[in-house]
Amino acid sequence: MIATKTVAVVDYGMGNLRSVTQAVVHAAQGSGVNVVWARSPREVLSADRVVLPGQGGMRDCMRELRDSGMLNAVLHAAATKPLMGVCVGMQMLLDHSDEQDVQCLGLIPGNVVKFALDRQIQPDGSRYKVPQMGWNQVYQSHNGAPVHPVWGDVPDGSYFYFVHSFYVKPSDARHNAGEADYGGRFCAAVARDNIFATQFHPEKSADHGLALYRNFLHWKP
């Protein structure tokens, strides 16, 4: 009998859990992967791979991750199995966030900074607004290396859905796995070893977003 593979979507009280879980369930159809809405550290520890969502203020997210008892389970996952961060779940992976001056998980060297777009004008003549809310193209960063396998057959320059005021600045350019442009290029995806994460919301990004979740479920770092 073949053991069922599981992916845990971490519920630590912050994040768009229902839509993320539904999207991962949809992506997993026919794959033999069981999707778990993980409400306990044990469910995260026993899963084969993990999705870390996030939504809201960084201080609240980090506090809830600790207070829920999920912190050590997430750190264990980041060290031992494929892990995908989404939105604030990506920002949490870095060292520090300028949003409320918060120390983060320190899994990817770098900082989280706010868009500084005062008085900048978009190509259509309107002013840039913060937060960025809406569809934007994402370009898969090469940095002299092959495109990250989680991108799979998603076309370069595909549109994904963003809602954010802050973005990540990884210290090592090799960890930049995708970029978008909003008043200048910024990092929209990061990757290191068994970790892949996006600033945009795959669960709100139609077919290309589902393809990313599907690719993550089959990724073998």
Q: With CA atoms as reference, report the closest residue to 88 among 159, 140, 13.
A: 13
Please name the amino acid found at residue 47. Answer: A
- Residue 132 three-state SS: strand
How far apart (Å, rounded) are the C-alpha atoms in residues 14 and 92?
12
Tokens of 183: 């008043």
104 catalytic per annotation: no
Q: Terminal CA-to-CA distance of the chain, rounded, Å?
A: 25
Catalytic option among 61, 87, 104, 187:
87
Tokens at residue 206, please?
């139609």
Q: Choosing from 148, 175, 201, 208, which is the catalytic residue?
A: 201
Q: Is 164 a catalytic site residue?
A: no
Amino acid at the residue 154: V
Catalytic site residue 203? yes
Cα 124 to Cα 190: distance, rounded to the nearest angstrom: 29
Compute how many other C-beta atoms are within 10 angstroms of the C-beta atom of residue 28: 19
- Active-site positions read 87, 201, 203
